[in-house]
Amino acid sequence: MAVPSLSKAERAYIQASLQASPPLRADGRSLLDFRTVLLETGVAPLANGSAKLNIGKAPQEGGGGTEVIAATKLEVEDVETGDGVDGGRLVCTVTCSPSAYPHLSTNALDELQYDLTILLHQTLSHPTLHPNNLGILPHKKSWLLSLDLVILADAGNVVDALFMAARAALWDTKVPRTRPLQYQSRKAGDALKNADAMEVEGLPEITSAFDTRDMARAAADFELPDYWDEGEVLEGRDRWPVCVTLNLLPPSHFLDATLLEEASTPIRLLLAYSFPHKSQPNLQAMRFIGSGEVVLTQLKALNADGEKYARSLFDSLETKLRDEDIRRNVKARDKFAVR
């Protein structure tokens, strides 16, 4: 990613210390340690879901670290006119703030944005992850869920940060409740219960011209039953994947690389795992970045390791997200009550 100029000597030095026994890292972490991850949800009040994530912020040193903001916005799309897709769709966009990559030219920045957008979009909009409450009216209206991510600062390991922020924002997303409106003609019987004379005369029973089931079922529009309510969470929000980047420096690998460490790593393996509730973990995406080579036989072991790391990352993220929900609702309300 962002590759600051690094001399061969520096690179060799970093590689050597990572491969030393015990391995040494500049900030004193062990190979599999993450830096501190800070997460806050609900940062953008006008979005339907949002999160701000920081990896490696050093409060004593006045900031720093990789910083990502993610926000989702729901829009109504018309399926009939061809804008929308029946059942809704998800579109991811990654924007890199130029201040995060001051050394990149505009074109290079665009390319980087594009690469990251493709990675996120392909992974997250995969049908296995699609939440089933993005439809409004079958064959008529659906939600477009736009997920926008902005990289504000890059201090290494930006892909993991993006995936975590995306997961947090999607977790936080609430879909406004809608109620389909339809016109259903009632049966002639209850409409004309006073019209006894007609039946007596032996005329055929009067039915409405519109009493064909299929037509009546077709809802034409929808309404918002409770406009104060934020809505319900996305279906299957525990499925959203987390990504771990394995920085491969044979024979070992390490996690959460800083910028310098990234620059010294010949090849990196991205693994995005989803941990659906009560079922087997799924590998949702796998990418290699870098010019190095990996032997196929290693891959299985790497995958197994990756799954282990992803699981622990997933668990701590889950705990944090649930904490955030409570902080923002129950605790805030309690505070209001005792004020």
Partner 1 sequence: MVDITIRKRPRTEAVLTQRKFFKKTARGKVIKVLRERYLRDDVGCGIDGCSVCHDLRDFSLPSSGSSAHAQYPNGHFVLPDTNVFLAQMDLMESDLFNPPIILLQTVMEEVRHRSLPLYNRLKALIRAEDKRIWVFYNEYRSETAVIREEGESPNDRNDRGIRMATAWYKTHISLARPPVRGQPSRPSPTVVLLSDDVANRQKAEKEGLVSISVRKYVEALQDTSKLLDLLSAPGSDEVEPTRVASARQALYPDYLPMSTLGAGVKSGQLHQGHFNANQYNYLEGNVPVAAFDKPILLIGRENMNRAVQGDVVAVEVFSESEWKAPADEVVEQETTLRNDDADESEEENDDEEAIAERKVLQAERARREASVRQPTGRVVGIIKRNWRSYVCHIDSTSLTSSNTTSLSQQTVFATPVSRLLPRIRLRTRQAPALLGQKILVTIDRWDSTSRYPEGHFVRALGKVESKEAEQESLLLEFDIPYRPFGKAILDCLPPEGDHWVVPPKTADNPVWRDREDLRDLIICSIDPPGCQDIDDALHARTLPNGNIEAGVHIADVSHFVHPDNPMDSEAAARGTTVYLVDKRIDMLPALLGTNLCSLRPHVERLAFSVIWELTPEADIVNVRFTKSVIASKSAFTYEEAQIRKDDPKLDDDLTKSIRLLNSLAQKLKANRMAAGALNLASPEVKIQLDSSESSDPIDVEQKELRETNSLVEEFMLLANISVARKIEEAFPQTAVLRRHLPPPRSNFEKLQDILQKRKGLTLDVSSSRALADSLDKCLDPNEPAFNTLVRIMATRCMLSAEYFCSGSVARDTFGHYGLASSIYTHFTSPIRRYADVLVHRQLSAAIGYSSLHATLHSKSHVERVLDVVNRRHRMAQMAGRASVEFYVGLALKSRGKGKATTEEAFVIRTFRNGLAVYVSKLGIEGLVTFKRETQFDPDAYTMTVPAASPEAVGTTIAVFDKVTVEIEVEKDKNTQRGRVKMTLRSPVDSSTL
Which of 34, 33, 19 has its CA nearest to residue 252? 19
Please return the burial class of 298, using the count of CB atoms within 10 Å of its CB with bins 0-12, 13-18 and 19+. Answer: middle
CB 27 within 8 A of CB 155: no
Neighbour count for residue 251 (Cβ, 10 Å):
7
CB of 117 to partner 1, least distance (A): 24
Nearest to 247 by CA among 22, 16, 32: 32
**What is the smallest separation between the CB atom of 106 and partner 1, expressed in angstroms?**
33
Tell me if 244 sits within 8 A of 254, measured CB to CB. Answer: no
- Distance, in Å, from the CA atom of 315 to the CA atom of 7, rounded to the nearest integer, reads 38
Nearer to partner 1, 175 or 263 (CB): 175
**C-beta closer to partner 1: residue 103 or 322:** 322
Given a contact cutoff of 8 angstroms between Cβ atoms, the answer to whether 158 and 1 are in contact is: yes
Based on CB atoms, which residue is closest to partner 1, 103 or 179?
Answer: 179
- The residue among 9 and 197 lying less far from partner 1, judged by its C-beta, is 197
Distance of closest approach, residue 120 Cβ to partner 1, in angstroms: 23
Query: Whose Cβ is closer to partner 1: residue 18's or residue 170's?
Result: 170
Question: Taking the complex as a whole, how short is the minimal distance between the CB of residue 330 and partner 1, in angstroms?
Answer: 8
CB of 80 to partner 1, least distance (A): 12
Q: Which helix (H) or strand (E) holds 32?
A: none
Q: How far is the CB of 100 from partner 1 (least distance, A)?
A: 23
Q: Residue 114 or residue 210: which is nearer to partner 1 going by CB?
A: 210
Q: Please give the Cα distance from 186 to 152 (Å, whole number).
A: 58
Contact 135, 285 (CB under 8 A): no
Helix or strand holding residue 269 (H, E) = strand 267-274
Chain contacts with partner 1 (rule: CB under 8 A): 42-43, 45-46, 48, 74-76, 78, 141, 176, 179, 181-186, 190-192, 194-195, 197, 206-210, 215, 218-221, 223-224, 226-231, 327-329, 332-333, 335-336, 339
Residue 141, beta-bridge partner list: 78, 137
* Rounded-to-integer distance, Cα 237 and Cα 161, Å: 18
Nearer to partner 1, 185 or 282 (CB): 185
Residue 331 CB, nearest distance to partner 1 (Å)?
9
Residue indicated by tokens 């809505």: 231
For the bound state, the minimum distance from the C-beta of residue 224 to partner 1, rounded and expressed in Å, comes to 5
Minimum CB distance to partner 1 smaller for 61 or for 196: 196
